[in-house]
Amino acid sequence: MAPSPQQLRGHTRAEIQRRCAAGECLVLVGPRRVYDLSAFVRLHPGGPELLLQRAGTDVSAQLDGPPHRHSENARRWLEQYYVGDLEDDDARQQQQEDHSKEQNSSSFPAVTKDSKMDPRCKAVDEDQELVDWRKPLLWQVGHLGEKYDEWVHQPVDRPIRLFHSDFIESLSKTAWYTVCAVWLPLVLYLSWHSYTSLAKGETWLFSTFTTAYSIRVQKTWFPLLFIVGMCMWSLVEYIIHRFIFHMSPPANNYYLITLHFLLHGQHHKSPFDGSRLVFPPAPSSLAIAFFYVLARVVFPEAFGTSLFVGGLFGYLVYDMMHYYLHYGSPKKGSYLYEMKAYHVKHHFEHQNAGFGITSKLWDHPFQTLIPEETPEKED
C-alpha cells in the first residue's frame, strides 16, 4: 500500500544506487518519482530478473511499451510502492540537519501506531476510499452498489479482513499445503479402490438398459478414466470461474454483491494475498461431495469413482497451479511462465476473458481467449 504523506521522503541518486547494490529494487518513473519494488520483485509476471535488471533506472519507457504496454490497473498498482521524490545530495543533507534539530528541541514522545493494525492499513482517506479498510469488508461491499464492479476490479496490495470474529476469519484463510494434506490422501485411496474394484471384472457399462450390448470395464481402463476425469474437471473449472465467480451481481442487490465478494471478488481486489489463493477445505468439500454423488448415480460405482478421482486430482492440480501462478517465479519460456502472464492479464486488464487457469483449452471454443499484444507502441 502507498505510504502516508508522513512516510514519504526525498531520495538521492547515491542512496538509490547503494540500496540497489544491496539487493533492493528501487526504480524511477520520470525524472523524480521513486518507487520501491523490492516486495514485488518475486511476484512480477515477467520474472524477478526483469525488474532487477532495471533497478536504479527510469522505467517510463518500459511502462509504455513495446513489447508490453502496462494497463491502467498496473499503473495504479505501481503507485502503491511510491516512496518519495528524487533530490540532490545538498538538499538531503540540509533536510537531515533540520530533522535532527526538531528531534532535539521536541519534548514530546513520538506517537505510536496501534500494534494490532497491519502497517499497510493506513488511515482511510475518505476522498479516495469507498470502504474502511480498518474494518471487515464483507459487510461493506454490498453498499457500494453500482460502484462495486469497478472498485473490485482495481487490485491492491493490502490485506483483506472479511469477518469480525477472529475464529471465522481464520477459517476463511488456507495455507497451500493444507489442500494437499486434505485431498491427496483421498486421491490415493480412491485410485487404489477404483483400480481394485475394476480388477474384479464385475463392472459393466449399459447393463441397466441391456445385457446383450453391455461392455465389461477392465482394470486397464483406469488410467484412461482418470485422464478423462481430469479433462472433465478442466471444463468444470472454466464454467465455475466464468459463470459463477464472474457473475455480475445487480447493483441494487446487497446480498448478491456480498456473495460475489466472498466467492471471488476478494481475490480480484487483493490478488496476492497468499492466505486466500486456495479454497478452504470446508466449503470445497460440499462441491466435491456433490460431484462424487453425481458420478456414483450416473455411472456404475467403480467406473464413476474412477472418473471422479481423476477430476479430484485435476482440482488439486488447479489449486496448486493457481497458487504458483500468483506466488511462483517460473522459468522464462516455460508453460507456467506463459500461464502466469496470461492469468495476471486476467486480473489486471482482461477481467472478462482468460478464464482458464491450468490451460487456455476452453477459452478457445468459448471465444474468451485474451488477445495477443502487438509489438507496435500505442499513442
Q: Number of C-alpha atoms within 13 angstroms, CB side, residue 251?
A: 8
Q: Is 322 annotated as a binding residue?
A: yes
Q: Is 326 annotated as a binding residue?
A: yes
Q: Is 44 annotated as a binding residue?
A: yes
Q: Is 260 annotated as a binding residue?
A: no
User: Hey, how many other C-beta atoms are within 10 angstroms of the C-beta on 112?
Assistant: 6
Instruction: Please state the length of the chain.
Output: 379
Q: Is 164 annotated as a binding residue?
A: no
Residue 184 to residues 190, 310, 312, 334, 365, Cα–Cα distance (Å) = 10, 12, 9, 26, 31
Q: Is 346 annotated as a binding residue?
A: yes
3-state secondary structure of 188: helix
Exposure string of 353-378, with b = 16+ CB inside 10 Å and e = fewer, is: bbbbbbbbebbeeeebbbeeeeeeee
DSSP conformational letter for 158: S
| C-alpha to C-alpha distance for 179 and 201, rounded to whole angstroms | 34
Q: Is 143 annotated as a binding residue?
A: no
Contact 74, 153 (CB under 8 A): no
DSSP conformational letter for 11: B
Q: Is 11 annotated as a binding residue?
A: no
Binding residues: 44, 70, 241, 246, 264, 267-268, 322, 326, 343, 346-347
Binding residues for heme: 44, 70
Binding residues for Zn(2+): 241, 246, 264, 267-268, 322, 326, 343, 346-347
